[in-house]
Amino acid sequence: MRKDYFYYSLRQRLDSSQEYAINCATKLRYIEIYKKADLEFFKSNKLLFLIDEIVNLPSNIIYSYKVMKMKLNLKKCLADIKAMQKELNSYE
């Protein structure tokens, strides 16, 4: 099959989507490490942890929403990558 403009633009989109997926996965891993460090810090200070959670409750809710949204976007991006790879394989 002849490769046209669509093939090359799809290839470029695939490359940028793969880069986004790698960056997003790295950010999610960083968030998990941050949570572990936070738990380790507050392990001996349970009262301080409780006060911190109560004071920062609105911020924590927004942050949790953003993390959920990031995970959803990563899953969607991975599905897009799979579909684009399938389409590019039909050109070869």
Picking from 35, 25, 33, 42, the residue whose alpha carbon sits closest to that of residue 64 is: 35
- Residue 2's SS3 state is coil
Q: Answer yes or no: is pLDDT of 38 > 60.
A: yes
Q: What is the pTM of this model?
A: 0.82
Strands (E), the chain: none
The whole-number average pLDDT for the span 6-35 is 95
Please state, rounded to an integer, the average pLDDT across all residues of the chain.
93
Q: Is the CB of residue 67 less than 8 Å from the CB of residue 32?
A: no
The first and second tokens of residue 54, run together, are 């109560």
- Residue 1's SS3 state is coil
Q: Answer yes or no: is pLDDT of 1 > 70.
A: no
The whole-number average pLDDT for the span 8-27 is 95
Q: How big is the chain, counted in residues?
A: 92
The first and second tokens of residue 77, run together, are 């991006």
Q: Answer yes or no: is pLDDT of 21 > 90.
A: yes
